[in-house]
Amino acid sequence: MKIELFEPHLVSEKGVFRYLFRSFIRYKNAGLVSEPRPFPSLLKPREHSSAWARFDGHLVFFDYSDHIFLYDAEALKNCDVYCKANLHHGVTRKALKEAGIQEHEHKILPFVWFAGNLEAYRLDSKWNRLMLLGARPNFDVCNIVGIYGNYLAIGEKSVITGNSGPPVDPARYHFWIRYHVQQALREAGVSGYYRLTSRGNRKLEDDQLIFSSLSERKYMRIMYESRFTVINTLPHALLPWKASESLMLGRPFIIERSPLTEVPEPFRLQPKVHYLEMFPGFGNFNDDAELEDPHCYRILNRLDSDRLREGAMNIAVAVKDRDLLEYMHEQARKYSATILSPSFVADYVCGQVEKRIH
């Protein structure tokens, strides 16, 4: 199969397409083309992370937007295969109907995230063998997560617990769920490296609740020195690329709620195998909401204090279960060595595209 990749800079830049494109080049002899991409990047209503390739002359579009409702209509109309990370069929049908392009739904394939610098997390690399020499788990969890605003500092009530306070919206929910999860795990006696970071916004940093971001190498070492990585899936109900980083380091992770987005079968992750879940089955998208309503594509349900405590206590018990820990670490290492390997990624994508174009 002849594979041609547009935008050669994506191969060298640290971004979501580097691991994917390098896999094609290394294992499928993909070539880079200097001609412009078939259609320019979508910038409105939001900037859209995407890339193009040709497989045996057929146009394949990779949609890496972290907004499950966002589609590039021109790309979908003109491509042969549309690989969509964070695919949710209910939200997709609403988005396609609104754009008047429902007849192209058959082109869409579920896809998966790869961290922008995923290759650097391989345990068998010479650099990591040296950096992690003698390192061993010192914490139950690595809970390092960025926030965009500090609503506690301005005196607002939480939108997670209780029934009063400001309206529930994605921005507030994003902060409060991260704050409450950290507090609940600490109170449950889960040892950890806990850090809310500013994502580079120095105005948020108070060195008491919000701290500066860590270097990638220090972050990687702390993740490796922890038995689990805490990853927030709320309110988005999808897995951020931190999940692939954690698994590449052989570390399972902890999430509030399993994602509502579709993951292709070989990449699918299982509870108590690859991750622990704090609030199983909590919340769903509002199927009756209009696409413009964030309740259509976010989980914005309130959590009462009892459920927060119960979820954290369940985690506290699970992380002390040595048999479970050993099993989950083994499964994470296996996933890293097989499913996340560049050769498997390249073979999988080529196989899926070939089914669609032939």
Ranges of residues in the chain whose predicted pLDDT is under 50? none
- In angstroms, rounded to a whole number, what is the distance separating the alpha carbons of residues 249 and 251? 6
- Other C-beta atoms lying within 10 Å of the C-beta of residue 329: 16
Amino acid at 184: A
pTM: 0.94
pLDDT at 44: 82
Strand 50-55 with 58-63, pairing: antiparallel
pLDDT at 127: 77
pLDDT at 125: 80
pLDDT at 57: 96
Task: Please report, in angstroms and rounded to a whole number, the separation of the first and last CA atoms in the chain.
Answer: 11
Q: Are 295 and 163 in contact (CB under 8 A)?
A: no
pLDDT at 254: 98
| Spatial CA neighbour of 79 closest among 97, 102, 98, 54 | 54
Q: Are 113 and 239 in contact (CB under 8 A)?
A: yes
pLDDT at 299: 96
pLDDT at 83: 97
pLDDT at 42: 87
- In angstroms, rounded to a whole number, what is the distance separating the alpha carbons of residues 287 and 94? 10
